[in-house]
Amino acid sequence: MSNFWSGYIITLTLVFLFLTTWLLFATRKGQRPDQTDSTTGHEYDGIAELDNPLPRWWFMLFIATLVFSAIYLVLYPGMGKWPGVLNWTQVNQYEREVARAEEQFAPIFARYTDLPISEVARDEEALRIGQRLFATNCSVCHGSDARGAFGFPNLTDNDWLWGGEPEQILTTLRQGRQAAMPAWLAVVGEQGVRNVAGYVRSLSGLESEGVDIDAGKQVFASNCVACHGPDGKGNPLLGAPNLTDDNWLYGSSMLQVQHSIRAGRNGNMPSQAHLGEDKLHMLASYVYSLSLDDE
């Protein structure tokens, strides 16, 4: 904030505080009986507005409010660049609250840090903690039930783009993932997109009308096997999905598969390293536990 705008805010704040105080005292009436026949001259529907002074308690409440305002503006930031005597900021308060929380909960996380993820994943108390971490940090994309949505993987099955072993899940959380399915329209043409889409759908037992499956297979062999493998079963090292299990991240319709091939896909899993290793360990254990029932 520039000095000009800081001074502008300070001036306005002090002027309005002064004017409010002046107005309160300037319009205060002297000591008069609480009941009077004097009116303000306003009358509506036979009801006249009496001109009585404020009750003393009400007037004192106004005074207390003004005093509080003045004290607040001295102690806390409220006037331009003035930081306040206490030098309070919301960032400092947040950091103090986080520090208190870390001190309180660190011993709880420490109990599980040295245990294998596969073991923590079967501990009920640890899973309750992991579930809360998931709800706070992951549910916005994967859903509160972790079953994902269009473009976001279902974490409750055994279909993993980057591998579902404990250390692979932990690496995904720690480093994040960046998938890259390139666009193929310029390479294979529109008919090639249709044919290879039909072939890819056939790998999961889906039928497609009006396409040349054999031609699509040739296009696949020339352009897609580097990532998805010659049998279409994918490659966890590259995050290339298995195309033979009828599990579709972006939909299995002919139009959806064609769009994936034509325009490409770029899924992004952000790193959660800001949570710290202890929380990542708990979160990885919870995510790993979600698919244990499917084993």
> What is the 3 state secondary structure string of 90-144?
HHHHHHHHHHHHHHHHHHHHHHHHCCCHHHHCCCHHHHHHHHHHHHHHCHHHHCC
**Cβ neighbour number for residue 62 with a 10 Å cutoff:** 15
Which residues on adjacent β-strands are paired with residue 78? none
pLDDT band at 188 (very low <50, low <70, confident <90, very high): very high
- Tell me how far apart the alpha carbons of residues 88 and 68 are, in angstroms, rounded to a whole number: 17
**Cβ neighbour number for residue 281 with a 10 Å cutoff:** 24
User: Reduced to 3 DSSP states, what percent helix, strand and coil does the chain have, rounded to the nearest 5?
Assistant: 55, 5, 40
Q: What are phi and psi of 181, to 5 degrees?
A: -100, 105
**Nearest Cα residue to 194 out of 203, 180, 204, 184:** 184
Higher pLDDT, 48 or 253: 253
With tokens 């809360």, the residue in question is 132
Average pLDDT, the chain: 92
- Tell me how far apart the alpha carbons of residues 228 and 245 are, in angstroms, rounded to a whole number: 13
| The two domains 93-175+274-294 and 185-266 share their CATH topology (first three levels equal) | yes
Query: Residue 259 corresponds to which amino acid?
Result: H
Give mean pLDDT, residues 173-181.
94
Query: Residue 32 corresponds to which amino acid?
Result: R
Per-residue pLDDT for 295 more than 60?
no
Specify binding-site residues for heme c.
138, 141-142, 181, 224, 227-228, 269
Q: What are phi and psi of 149, to 5 degrees?
A: -160, -170
Give mean pLDDT, residues 171-190.
96
Give mean pLDDT, residues 18-44.
76
Give mean pLDDT, residues 160-185.
95
Local structure of residue 235 (DSSP, 8 states):
B
Per-residue pLDDT for 292 more than 90?
no
pLDDT-wise least confident of 16-25, 53-62, 227-236: 53-62
- Report the pLDDT value the prediction gives residue 39, as an integer from 0 to 100: 76
Q: Where are the domains of the chain?
A: 3-75, 93-175+274-294, 185-266
Task: Identify the helix (H) or strand (E) that includes residue 226.
Answer: helix 225-228
Which residues on adjacent β-strands are paired with residue 181? 265
Per-residue pLDDT for 30 more than 80?
no
Give mean pLDDT, residues 101-128.
92
pLDDT-wise least confident of 33-47, 73-87, 171-185: 33-47
- Report CA 125 to chain centroid distance, whole Å: 25
What CATH superfamily classification does 93-175+274-294 receive?
Cytochrome c-like domain (1.10.760.10)
- Report the pLDDT value the prediction gives residue 95, as an integer from 0 to 100: 93
- Report the pLDDT value the prediction gives residue 26, as an integer from 0 to 100: 85
- Report the pLDDT value the prediction gives residue 89, as an integer from 0 to 100: 92
**CATH fold for domain 185-266:** Cytochrome Bc1 Complex; Chain D, domain 2 (1.10.760)
72-88 residue pLDDT tens = 999 999 888 989 999 99
Tell me how far CA of residue 27 lies from CA of 33, 43, 55, in angstroms: 17, 21, 13
Give mean pLDDT, residues 158-185.
95
* Backbone φ/ψ region at 68: left (φ over 0), alpha (ψ -120 to 50), beta: alpha
Specify binding-site residues.
138, 141-142, 181, 224, 227-228, 269
- Tell me how far apart the alpha carbons of residues 198 and 205 are, in angstroms, rounded to a whole number: 10
- Report the pLDDT value the prediction gives residue 53, as an integer from 0 to 100: 75
pLDDT band at 40 (very low <50, low <70, confident <90, very high): confident
pLDDT band at 199 (very low <50, low <70, confident <90, very high): very high
Higher pLDDT, 200 or 293: 200
- Report the pLDDT value the prediction gives residue 29, as an integer from 0 to 100: 65
- Tell me how far apart the alpha carbons of residues 240 and 176 are, in angstroms, rounded to a whole number: 15
For the chain, percent of residues with pLDDT exceeding 70: 96
Give mean pLDDT, residues 7-32.
86
CA gyration radius, the chain? 33
**Cβ neighbour number for residue 96 with a 10 Å cutoff:** 10
Give mean pLDDT, residues 254-265.
96
| Residue 9 three-state SS | helix
